[in-house]
Amino acid sequence: MQNFWVDLPKPFYILAPMEAVTDVVFRHIIAEAAAPDVWFTEFTNATGWAAAGDKAIGGRLVKTDDEQPIVAQLWGSVPEAMEKLAARCAELGYHGIDINMGCPDKSATKSGGGSAMICNPENAAAIIAAAKTSGLPVSVKTRLGYSRIDEWQGWLTHILQQDIVNLTIHLRTKKEMSKVPAHFELIPEIKALRDTVAPQTLLTINGDIQNRTHGDALVAETGVDGVMIGRGVFHNPFAFEKTPGTHSREELLSLLRLQLSLYDEYSSRTNRPYDTLKRFYKIYVRDFEGAAELRDRLMHTKTTDEVRHILLQYTS
């Protein structure tokens, strides 16, 4: 696949990369509910992979051929490691590389990765150049700044000067984490900057966008190219549907049953302990009579079979 970004609809929708959430299993749940236009993996550390191989990255890069187009999100501050993992992603059949320059977590920033890249623009440019050697289109996901909102002009100008295919801007600073509302008010100015510095680079907005209807309204106001939605799918796994509908208990529980089957199918490759599934149960078990009680029972289970057994009582 050549640079898929240029063939996307406008606006296009992306499922946000979410560590320990958007693995191959959950992406297939969203595909079943209502698919976005682009898939992203969870972020995957290049330095760890270059040093220790596949065991360092768990199942983060497991994907299937029906996930199209799919972008590997990578992070790390060592260009040689980025070059190696980006080349591996090309071999694995990924359609693009996205570089995480926004993660606020110490596990990424202490080695200069994630949002710490904002404080080292020269290395950020070197990391982008390293990823490009793979031949895959390279995009960046970042925040407005590290500690102050007014950092965005200098930082985003620098990133846009690196000739990337897409810039996703999570409309908060690193310091703001996710504690304040996303700065939607800055979108028009950021778009004007993009139009001046790099009109060929697509601009995607992210942060607090609930669903496609909400995204479409922001696009109509601002003219950005794309919308990325993360936590919106926790409230509504159908967040990407074009015509919002109401969804029955049975539809939600059948997504849960699908997640149990896919978890079993992929567990030898993704290596996620059973308890990691529990964070998903509240997505499906809500807004119907007896939901709280059912959730409570599911939280006490130890196997997917136990959950299946409990759900037998809920077959309509």
Residues known to be catalytic = 103
Residue of the chain from 45, 73, 139, 162 that contacts ligand FMN (CB under 6 A) = 73
Write the DSSP symbol of residue 17: P
Q: What are phi and psi of 252, to 5 degrees?
A: -65, -45
> Between 100 and 134, whose beta carbon lies closer to ligand FMN?
100
From 27, 88, 95, 170, residue interacting with ligand FMN (rule: CB under 6 A) = 170
Interface of this chain with ligand FMN, residues 111 to 150, rule: CB under 6 A = 141
DSSP state of 263: H
In angstroms, the CA 28 to CA 35 distance is 9
How far apart CA 143 and CA 155 sit, in angstroms, is: 9
Q: How far is the CB of 22 from ligand FMN (least distance, A)?
A: 8
Write the interaction track for ligand FMN spanning residues 1-20; mark x where CB under 6 A is met and - where it is not: ---------------xxxx-
Residue 173 sits in the site that holds ligand FMN (CB under 6 A): no
What's CA 309's distance to the chain center, in Å?
A: 32
Q: Which of 36, 137, 207, 215 binds ligand FMN (CB under 6 A)?
A: 207
Q: Which stretch binds ligand FMN (CB under 6 A): 3-11, 76-84, 126-134, 225-233?
A: 225-233
For residue 243, the SS3 value is coil
Check residue 286 and give left, alpha or beta (phi > 0: left; psi -120 to 50: alpha).
beta
Q: Is 76 in the site for ligand FMN (CB under 6 A)?
A: no
Min dist CB 207 to ligand FMN, Å, is: 5
User: Is residue 212 a contact point for ligand FMN (CB under 6 A)?
Assistant: no
Total number of residues that touch ligand FMN (CB under 6 A) = 21
Between CA 13 and CA 207 the distance in angstroms is 13
Residue with smaller CB distance to ligand FMN, 174 or 249 = 174
SS3 (DSSP) at 139: strand
Element (H, E) at 175: none
Smallest gap from Cβ 232 to ligand FMN, in A, equals 6
| CA atoms of 222 and 209, how far apart (whole Å) | 14
Where do the DSSP E strands lie in the chain?
Answer: 12-15, 39-40, 44-45, 70-75, 96-101, 138-143, 166-170, 202-206, 226-229
Residues that bind ligand FMN (CB under 6 A): 16-19, 21, 42-43, 73, 100, 102-103, 141, 170, 206-209, 229-232
